Amino acid sequence: MSKEKVVLAYSGGLDTTAIIPWLKENFDYEVICCCIDCGQGEELDGLEERAKLSGASKLYIENIIDEFCDEYIVPCVKAGAVYENKYLLGTSMARPVIAKRLVEIARKEGATAICHGATGKGNDQIRFELGIKALAPDIKIIAPWRMTDVWTMQSREDEIEYCHQHGIDLPFDAKHSYSRDRNLWHISHEGLELEDPANEPNYDDLLVLGVSPEKAPDEGEYVTMTFEAGVPKSLNGKEMKVSEIITELNSLGGKHGIGIVDIVENRVVGMKSRGVYETPGGTILMEAHDQLEELVLDRATYEVKKDMGNKFAQIVYEGKWFTPLREAIQAFVDVTQQYVTGEVKFKLYKGNIIKAGTTSPYSLYSESLASFTTGELYDHHDAEGFINLFGLPLKVRAMKMAELNKK
């Protein structure tokens, strides 16, 4: 009788390497590894040999960069989705697309379970598992770090020793470094000195995608972008797909010290955590989109869209991508993006993105209206009646208070 299969979300790192023999030993599963490439930039060479050496029967390496950009990043950019005013959702956006691909491979292989290496304290366990539950409610989920009766390893040293006992001798070291998550959109850093919010980050050690503003060039650099219906289409006159635009913006943003965020955020599980995010290209892309949008959207739509953007960010952060609510808000956002088309110019300089001009065929800005000379559309006398009505509640209340104070 053939063994049941488990699909393991596999990075090739120490945690997921140790999980392979652990799954076989404790559950007698056939282990299928799945390494999902969202633009980590890490070397994927040699992973197949590593997975097989560790006891996996098969390894899938899945490149989902374009799907990640077009179907997950772009909707968040259109929505202006930023969590707690700072976090551009780099890890949050990637988890649902990873969960989706894990489910697809589990179906293809006839697997009965999916295993992930996320800890029991973080957000990622929620994001992975909500995605899997929404797409495949029948598939069992295994989370070793929460199974403290069976998963007894407490440290990197324990994991290395466990691997050695199972004949896996790989060049892992036990030193503690920052806990990082990287994809095309960003890289996050947690741990070491960041665990105490009183400590300043050691940026010289920490930064991966760029430099601090102090070390950025003394010369600014102009960038021009175009958008069509809220989607980025070209960079400096060259049409590119979204993944290529983000890659190029990462390089420009990193060079000029753009997009470094130090945040204490509220995790879904109830605790605060401190992290540093580098999102050079994403920060520029979001800012450029905002720059165009403020020219095109009317006041009432803009106001509601701000609220919807915050709601969208919360939904994504909490791992609720595959829900009717996310689809409904995204549909609202898509309608607002119909005319977000035009060209945006800005200058990158020492951590700053400085506007240098915006144009759109759908611009609602009217020079004759906004100028101080009188245009045909605007009669200054109309303002008097408007102010009288607009200020009426304040005047009525003041009169009432005055009347009461006389008594």
The catalytic residue among 50, 95, 182, 274 is 95
Binding-site residue set for L-aspartate: 119, 123-124
3-class DSSP assignment, residue 84: coil
**Please, are residues 56 and 6 in contact by the beta-carbon 8 Å criterion?**
no
180 labelled catalytic: no
* Annotated binding residues: 9-17, 87, 92, 117, 119, 123-124, 127, 179, 188, 265, 277
Residue 376 has phi, psi (to 5 degrees) of: -70, -30
Q: Report the 10 Å Cβ neighbour count for 403.
A: 9
Catalytic residue flag (residue 95): yes
Rg, C-alpha atoms of the chain = 26
- Among candidate residues 70, 158, 179, 234, the one labeled active-site is 179
Question: Is 334 in the active site?
Answer: no
Q: Write the CA distances from 51 to 18, 168, 215, 282, integer angstroms.
A: 10, 10, 40, 33
The whole-angstrom separation of Cα 267 and Cα 383 is 48
Q: Which of 50, 124, 182, 326 is catalytic?
A: 124
Residues contributing to the annotated binding site for ATP: 9-17, 117
CB–CB of 105/36 below 8 Å?
A: no
Residue in the structure block whose two tokens are 């390496």: 61
Angle between helix 90-109 and 299-317 (nearest 10): 50
* Cα 230 to Cα 267, 277, 289, 308, 341, distances in angstroms: 30, 25, 7, 16, 6
* Catalytic (active site) residue 179: yes
The total of other beta-carbon atoms located within 10 Å of residue 263's CB is 17
Q: What does the alpha-carbon distance between residue 159 and residue 15 come to, in Å, rounded to a whole number?
A: 7
| Closest by CA position to 144, among listed 272, 267, 21, 13 | 21
Q: Where are the beta strands (DSSP E) in 95-152?
A: 113-115, 140-142
Cα–Cα distance, 189 to 178 (Å, whole number)? 6
> Rounded distance, CA 299 to CA 176, Å?
50
Q: What single-letter amino acid sits at 359?
A: T
Cα–Cα distance measured from residue 80 to residue 91, given in angstroms and rounded to the nearest whole number? 16
Q: Which residues are catalytic?
A: 15, 95, 124, 179
